[in-house]
């Protein structure tokens, strides 16, 4: 006897998102959060500049040109030249690369480290949590720049050391926020269920806690990125970061700029503007991201 097999109901095929949906989402973001969109635009501009530096830079970043020393902004040199005759615009473009690279790597390292500590601390609870939090408090007691300064002084000047020095202060700041979310996530019933079924601690943390802390993690990451860029500029300014002739924005501010401020004010203005814009962009975007993903976090530091 043939049994007719027919599906009880027509199977619904999952529909691919229509293309305009993606642009629609962007459009919605721009309309509802114009400041955040502006911040995002700045970030994208900076990233493009950093990536395409070799293509868009009008001149060589290291070439010293005696005839061109101290030329004010002009058509040939939009942002003028410095005391060595090097094009300021070119150096700002390459500076974006250094700022982004160091900023990204150090904040990513720090935030990831902090997130791991935060999740572990929240999940394990009890005495472990207590001790870890006290350790985080000690690190938090130092202002960010002071801690970074101390670390670079001990480790010595080099780009890897700089990245470590900027990453370390980010750890406690991330840990604290991630831990708060992790504590909430821990209370969910499915976590208990997973443990009951026999999942290992690591598996539970990875599969059930971590996805719930991604939102705060991303928010802190973007916020710390702006801060990391500022810290790198500050350390270079203080003479503990990158060294001349590397084109770091902070270094440009500390090098000839104060000495030649009367003769060539553009040497200080443009790197300063670049730093301000970068930090501003990340802060704006980070704020809007936070609002979009988790309005509850609005009142946390």
Partner 1 sequence: MRGFKKSMWLLAIVILTGLWAVSPALAEDKPHYGGVLRVALAGDPPSLDMHQEQTFMVTIPMSTVYNTLVMFDPHQYPKIIGDLAQAWTVSEDGMTWTFTLHQGVKFHDGSELTSADVKASWDKIVFPPEGVVSTRKSLYQMVKSIEAPERYTVVFRLHYPAASFLSMLAHPANFIYAKKYLDQDINWYKTHAMGTGPFKLQEYVRGASLEFKRNPDYWKKGLPYLDGAKYFIIPDTGARAKSVRAERTDVEFRGFAPVEVEAITAQMGDKVTAAHSGQPAHWGIAINVDKKPFDDARVRQALSLALDRYEMVKTLGPLTGLDTIAGPMPPGTPWTLSPEELQTLPGFGKDHEANLREAKRLLAEAGYPNGFQTVLTNRAVKLPYIDFGVYVVSAWKKIGVEAEHKLEESATWSKSRVTRDFELLVDPFGFAAEGDPDEVMVKFTSSSPSNWGRFKDPVVDQLFERQKVERDAQKRAQLVHDMQKRVMDQAWEIVGLWWTRVEVRSARIHNYEPLPSHWMNRRLEDVWLSAR
Instruction: List contacts with partner 1 (CB under 8 A).
Output: 62-64, 66, 69, 83-85, 157, 239, 243-246, 255, 258-260, 262-263
| Contact of 124 with 185, CB cutoff 8 Å | no
**Taking the complex as a whole, how short is the minimal distance between the CB of residue 261 and partner 1, in angstroms?**
8
| Contact of 204 with 182, CB cutoff 8 Å | no
- Rg (C-alpha) for the chain, rounded Å, is 25
**Taking the complex as a whole, how short is the minimal distance between the CB of residue 64 and partner 1, in angstroms?**
5
| Closest C-alpha to 237, from 185, 190, 283, 275 | 275
Q: How far is CA 8 from CA 12, 13, 15, 125, in A?
A: 12, 15, 20, 49
Dihedral angle of Cα 243, 245, 248, 254, to the nearest 10 degrees: 70
**Taking the complex as a whole, how short is the minimal distance between the CB of residue 259 and partner 1, in angstroms?**
5
**Taking the complex as a whole, how short is the minimal distance between the CB of residue 258 and partner 1, in angstroms?**
5
Of the pair 97, 186, the CB lying nearest partner 1 is at: 97
| Closest C-alpha to 33, from 214, 298, 225, 284 | 284
Of the pair 213, 257, the CB lying nearest partner 1 is at: 257
Of the pair 201, 263, the CB lying nearest partner 1 is at: 263
Of the pair 246, 283, the CB lying nearest partner 1 is at: 246
**Taking the complex as a whole, how short is the minimal distance between the CB of residue 65 and partner 1, in angstroms?**
8
Of the pair 74, 153, the CB lying nearest partner 1 is at: 153
């Amino acid at each position: 006897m043939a049994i007719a097999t027919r599906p009880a109901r027509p199977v619904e095929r999952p529909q691919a998102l229509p293309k305009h949906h993606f642009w629609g989402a962007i459009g919605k973001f721009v309309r509802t959060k114009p400041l955040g969109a502006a911040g995002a635009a700045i970030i994208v501009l900076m990233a493009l500049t950093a990536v395409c530096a070799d293509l868009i830079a009008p001149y060589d970043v290291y070439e010293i040109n005696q005839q061109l020393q101290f030329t004010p902004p002009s058509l040939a040199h939009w942002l003028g030249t410095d005391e060595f005759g090097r094009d300021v615009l070119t150096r700002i473009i390459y500076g974006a690369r250094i700022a982004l690279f160091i900023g990204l790597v150090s904040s990513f390292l720090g935030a990831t480290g902090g997130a791991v500590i935060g999740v572990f601390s929240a999940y394990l609870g009890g005495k472990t949590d207590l001790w870890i939090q006290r350790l985080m408090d000690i690190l938090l007691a130092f202002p960010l720049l002071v801690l970074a300064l101390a670390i670079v002084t001990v480790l010595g000047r080099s780009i890897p050391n700089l990245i470590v020095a900027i990453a370390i202060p980010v750890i406690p700041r991330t840990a604290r926020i991630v831990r708060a979310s992790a504590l909430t996530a821990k209370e969910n019933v499915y976590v208990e269920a997973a443990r009951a079924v026999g999942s290992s601690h690591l598996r539970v943390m990875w599969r059930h806690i971590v996805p719930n802390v991604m939102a705060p993690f991303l928010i802190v990451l973007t916020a710390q990125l702006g801060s990391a860029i500022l810290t790198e500029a500050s350390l270079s300014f203080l003479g503990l970061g990158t060294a001349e002739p590397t084109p770091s924005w902070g270094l440009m501010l500390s090098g000839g700029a104060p000495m030649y401020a009367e003769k060539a004010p553009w040497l200080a203005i443009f790197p300063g503007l670049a730093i301000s814009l970068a930090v501003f962009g990340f802060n704006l975007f980070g704020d809007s991201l936070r609002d979009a993903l988790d309005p509850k976090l609005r009142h946390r530091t």
